[in-house]
Amino acid sequence: MATRWLMPVWSVGTFLTIMNTTMFNVSLPTILADLHITPAMGSLIVSGYSVVYAVSTVIASRLSDILPIRWLITAALALLGTASVLGFAAHSFALLLTARVLQAPGAGAVAALGVMIASRYIPYERRGRALSLISAAVALGFGLGPILGGVLTGWVRWNALFLVVCLVLPLMPLLWRVLPEEPMRPAPFDGIGAALLGAAATSLLLAVTLRTVWLVTVTAVCGVACAWHLRRSHHPFIDPALFTNPAYRRLLPLPLCAFMINMSLLFLIPLILARGFGMPASRIGLVLFPGSLLSAVLTRWIGRWIDEHGNVPFLVIGHALVMAAIAAMALLVQLSPWILVATYLVFSPALSMLTASISNELSRVLVTSHLGAGMGLAQLSQFFGGAIAVAGCGLVLAVTPKWPVFTTFRLLFGGLTAVMVCSLALLLWHLRQSRRAMKQMAPAAGTGANG
């Protein structure tokens, strides 16, 4: 396997699929006007894509335990390319929504399988660099997507956004060349468990996104049914033994908290710039781009530092820098939009450092048989965090319409700082428990050696 090129090629695919997610958010007002649809209908273009994308990450991760990744990525890219061609030809809401929903499982599989490849086939001593590449691709996709989306929508038409995603198709022969040749691993696939978990995740994400109470009941019913089925199944989709791993349980909230922060800032910063400083949409994306670019540039060093010094220092440093950036926004946001540029320059590389070290630590504590399910659930938790955070920020903005603009945003940034404090407390608890477990294992190992 040509591991030297594997993760760079995969990171290009990750960058394109993440950019595909953010480009359409900018073009949504134009799509509403062109297709003569209501904002509620238009929101389905974003929420439908996001929900299917989220659920597909855990399904693709789990399928990689059974099927060769070459097969999975071929199917994912073929579906993504076909749906993009369909979207380029779309001139009705139904066709556009169909294309976006069909894109989502392909894009979600690219994101999920990239983490699986790094966790399974990249040696641990080089895994930090691989996961940092993916984190940087995500950051750059989030930063460049709104800019490119606005340019293409203004200069050409929103349909042209689908052509950008078609650039993933030339990656297929390259990935076949650098991916490992894997044997089939015949094993029963728990379709019922996958369907119940997917239904529970879908209803929960929609309940949070759409703020619909009855979907909470659907989530509870599906969740109970899923738990009951997984405990009784001989070959469960998610092995309940995964949750007997205490280190995994302690780490699982960390990616959720990280994405709560990331998605909140991507939601709030454009609103601050527009409402607080009167900045036009054409310039808003440029505020986020320098931080995303710096994150991509620093990737090589961040990954190397993680590999050389381990995850722990960068889990702590990442938390500290993210916390400092958000606290600075809370205190200084009203002074100038340049404050947001400067703080995002700190935030974006720090978040890439944090997410890469979290993924690396998760892959370290999981046994091989639980790798697919464990990493898939961790990615799914990120989407829960993002959905909860954006819905929460939207609710605060809705109930404080008469407050001074910067007062509301300072309150929100203060809340996000509190989320990072909680995440840091969980991390320190995990590190303390891990050290305690290692001390308990050392005497036992010595006794075994003496015996």
Query: 223 and 244 share a domain?
Result: no
- Residue pair 67/184 in contact by the 8 Å Cβ criterion: yes
Q: Is the C-alpha dihedral spanning 389, 391, 395, 397 positive or negative? A: positive
Is 63 within a domain?
yes
- Spatial separation of the C-alpha atoms in residues 387 and 276, rounded to whole Å: 24
Per residue in 157-207, pLDDT tens?
Answer: 888 888 888 888 888 888 777 777 776 666 678 888 889 888 888 888 788
Cβ-in-10-Å burial (0-12, 13-18, 19+) of 16 comes to buried
Reference 154, options 29, 278, 41; nearest CA is 29
- Spatial separation of the C-alpha atoms in residues 207 and 321, rounded to whole Å: 32
Query: 411 and 280 share a domain?
Result: yes
For residues 414-438, give the mean pLDDT: 91
The domain total for the chain is 2
Query: 35 and 73 share a domain?
Result: yes
Length of the chain: 451
Which amino acid does the sequence have at 368? T
What pLDDT shows up at residue 429?
93
Query: 201 and 145 share a domain?
Result: no
What pLDDT shows up at residue 255?
92
Is 182 within a domain?
no
Residue 317 has pLDDT above 90, yes or no: yes
Residue 109 has pLDDT above 60, yes or no: yes
Query: 86 and 129 share a domain?
Result: yes
User: Could you tell me the pLDDT band of residue 245, with boundaries at 50, 70 and 90?
Assistant: very high
User: Could you tell me the pLDDT band of residue 451, with boundaries at 50, 70 and 90?
Assistant: very low
Higher local confidence (pLDDT), 187 or 368: 368
Query: 24 and 80 share a domain?
Result: yes
Query: 315 and 212 share a domain?
Result: no
For residues 231-254, give the mean pLDDT: 89
Query: 46 and 58 share a domain?
Result: yes
The CATH number covering residue 49 comes to 1.20.1250.20
> Whole domain around residue 222: which residue ranges?
192-236
For residues 77-98, give the mean pLDDT: 88
What share of the chain in percent tops pLDDT 70?
94
Is 431 within a domain?
yes
Is 185 within a domain?
no
What pLDDT shows up at residue 326?
93
Query: 124 and 222 share a domain?
Result: no
Query: 211 and 357 share a domain?
Result: no
| Top-ranked range on mean pLDDT: pick from 322-331, 363-372, 389-398, 437-446 | 322-331
Is 450 within a domain?
no
Is 85 within a domain?
yes
Least confident stretch, 21-35, 234-248, 345-359, 389-403: 21-35
Least confident stretch, 86-95, 150-159, 241-250: 150-159
Query: 214 and 130 share a domain?
Result: no
Please list the alpha-helical segments (H only) found in 122-190: 124-155, 161-165, 171-178
Least confident stretch, 19-28, 229-238, 343-352: 19-28
Residue 450 has pLDDT above 50, yes or no: no
For residues 3-28, give the mean pLDDT: 79
- Residue pair 75/63 in contact by the 8 Å Cβ criterion: no
Query: 224 and 276 share a domain?
Result: no
What pLDDT shows up at residue 1?
45
Q: Is the C-alpha dihedral spanning 380, 384, 386, 387 positive or negative? A: positive
What pLDDT shows up at residue 137?
83
Residue 420 has pLDDT above 90, yes or no: yes
Is 187 within a domain?
no
Is 441 within a domain?
no
Per residue in 260-304, pLDDT tens?
Answer: 898 888 888 887 887 888 877 667 767 778 888 888 888 778 888
